[in-house]
Amino acid sequence: MLFNSPAFIFLFLPIVLLGFFSLGKRGFQKSAVTWLVFSSLFFYGWWNPAYLWLLIFSILFNFFLGIALERRRKKAILVAGVAVNLGLLGYFKYADFFILNANAMFDLDVGGQKILLPLAISFFTFQQIAYIVDVYRGEVKERNFLHYALFVTFFPQLISGPIVHHAEMLPQFARKESYKFRLSNLNFGLTTFAAGLFKKVVLADGISEYSTPVFEAADAGQLVTFFDGWGGLIAYSMQIYFDFSGYADMAIGIGAMFGIALPLNFNSPYRSRNIIQFWRCWHMTLSRFLKDYLYIPLGGNRKGSRYLNLFITMLLGGLWHGAAWNFVIWGALHGAYLMLNHFWKHFSLKSKPKTLPKPSMLRAIFSTALTFLAVSFAWAFFRAETFAGALSLTKAILGQNGLMLPAVSQGFLPEFFQNSFSFFEGGGVLSFPSGWGFAWLLVLGGVIFFLPNTQEFITRERFTEEKEALAKGRASWTTSCLPAIVVGFVLFVSIKIMVSVSESEFLYFNF
């Protein structure tokens, strides 16, 4: 079931809210939690009921493992638990990938399993690995099975995050106030959900028709021109931005309707002035997980191994996103970016005086643009279905296919250029830089770089990693007439478009 579907918006969500608060109002908190757990399992099983057993097994295994670790804090138990979790993830997500590569490397003929990837396995596996590690460290404990099951299955964050910590969620469900309906929570939640739905069905899905043809052409071995390549790549950069940002907003909004504050997972990453800042703002809870449970255990900044640890962390982070060499290269690129960024930062601090002048506007614009282009370049490997397609697209954007302009743009250039240069060939895949595609890029670029993001708009505050969106939102979001009209209009437009087109999955559902 998708957040951007009529079944979810008009049936599932209202029924679950009504049941939860009806039980909570009567003091049946245990029944309310049970209702929410079974509703979340139904939500997950809507996609493929056959894989409910995997989610349930994972919950049971890690719950009892946590109890065992609480009683006997032995490293062997922890290692065994992590191995089981990673073993399941490895089998379902990577078995075919390793078989395919083993066949190619050793000239074997082992048949692939053609395993269907269970939805959200990466997310609920990482979330529970974090839990058992925290239990081993003595930071958390949980003996209430229903509460633990809700921590794992809570449907707003089950499919694509955020990856939450036990200590962030369970205290909220332990509060009596969480079971009482509050209009302020509904106002904040509905507003945030409306913003996320608009981002998904209007902005992300709208720009996808300009990115998809370019990648399909590259994967099919067709020649992609320089401008079409960059046009499609920038279009995809904006598509995944609004798609993922939209999901993050909708998850926070749904959680707020239940009175639950989910952590901020997305904070205007394309405004970042370097790659370090980008990864503090993009998929923030995944970055936190990789830092706390991979980078630091590898050694972190100690013993001069920062650069190697960074590279390994991002390499594995890339592989987490998908079982393909494209994702490995994407992770390696970001690992290299981070290494260069930290080296430059270290070099700059050593070579410059202690009191530095305030960065100029020109420098800020240049560093932001450079970061955005570096991130967009890496998206070529992330989005392409084949390694050959990714290479074909990178050749196009590096100018190796020639600087050919679409024929339709010929009339927009001075006559001197038209007569002196013969770089007009065909219509291209997208016919950039003219047409609606170019207009879409300008509009979305303006939204990304110049307008406040959802949390800033609602709370009128600039968010950092330490600030919780929900707490601020409750304090400052008003229910006056004008905001209600705006939210109503946004919802009306989004739902009208949603019901008129076929449902589209969120991009992170694939991971």
Of 165, 321, 342, 346, which is the active-site residue? 321
Last residue of a domain, one of 158, 179, 200: 179
Q: Are 247 and 196 in contact (CB under 8 A)?
A: yes
Do 357 and 213 have their domain in common? yes
- What is the pLDDT at residue 421? 44
Which pLDDT belongs to residue 223? 85
Residue 468 lies in a domain: yes
Identify whether 272 is part of a domain.
Answer: yes
Q: Is residue 293 part of a domain?
A: yes
Final residue of a domain: which of 154, 179, 204?
179
Residue 216 belongs to some domain of the structure: yes
Same domain, 205 and 130: no
- 270 and 340 share one domain: yes
Q: What is the pLDDT of residue 303?
A: 61
3-class state of residue 266 by DSSP: strand
One domain for residues 467 and 401: yes
Q: Are 90 and 190 in the same domain?
A: no
Number of H helices, E strands in the chain: 24, 0
Instruction: State whether 418 and 346 are in the same domain.
Output: yes
Q: Confirm whether 321 is a catalytic residue.
A: yes
Same-domain status, 149 and 232: no
Within its chain, how far is the Cα of 404 from the centroid? 34
Both structure tokens of 201: 């069905």
Residue finishing a domain among 128, 151, 179: 179
125 inside domain: yes
**Residue 414's pLDDT is what?**
56
What's the Cα-to-Cα distance from 186 to each of 177, 194, 477, rounded to whole Å? Answer: 14, 12, 11
401 lies in the same domain as 493: yes
pLDDT string in tens for the chain (511-residue length): 889 899 999 999 999 999 999 998 888 889 999 999 999 999 999 988 888 999 999 999 999 999 999 988 899 999 999 999 999 999 888 888 888 888 778 777 776 667 778 888 999 999 999 999 999 998 888 888 999 999 999 999 998 889 998 888 888 888 888 888 998 889 889 999 999 999 999 999 999 888 998 999 999 988 888 888 898 999 999 999 999 999 999 999 999 999 999 988 889 999 999 999 999 999 999 999 999 999 988 887 876 678 899 999 999 999 999 888 999 999 999 999 999 998 888 777 666 655 555 667 888 899 999 999 999 999 999 999 999 999 999 998 988 876 665 554 555 555 554 444 444 444 455 545 446 777 888 899 999 999 888 888 887 555 444 444 444 444 445 556 777 788 888 888 888 888 888 778 888 877 6
In a domain, 1, yes or no: no
pLDDT value for 479: 55
The answer for 195, left when phi > 0, alpha when psi is -120 to 50, beta otherwise, is alpha
126 in a structural domain: yes
Same domain flag for 165 and 198:
no
Q: Which domain holds residue 124?
A: 6-179
Dig out the tokens for 196 from the structure: 């996320």
In this prediction, residue 359 carries a pLDDT of: 64
Question: For residues 393, 203, 44 and 146, what is the CA-based torsion angle, rounded to 10 degrees?
Answer: 120
Task: State the total domains in the chain.
Answer: 2
**Pair 419, 285 in one domain:** yes
Q: Are 97 and 112 in a shared domain?
A: yes
My answer on whether 194 and 145 are in the same domain is no
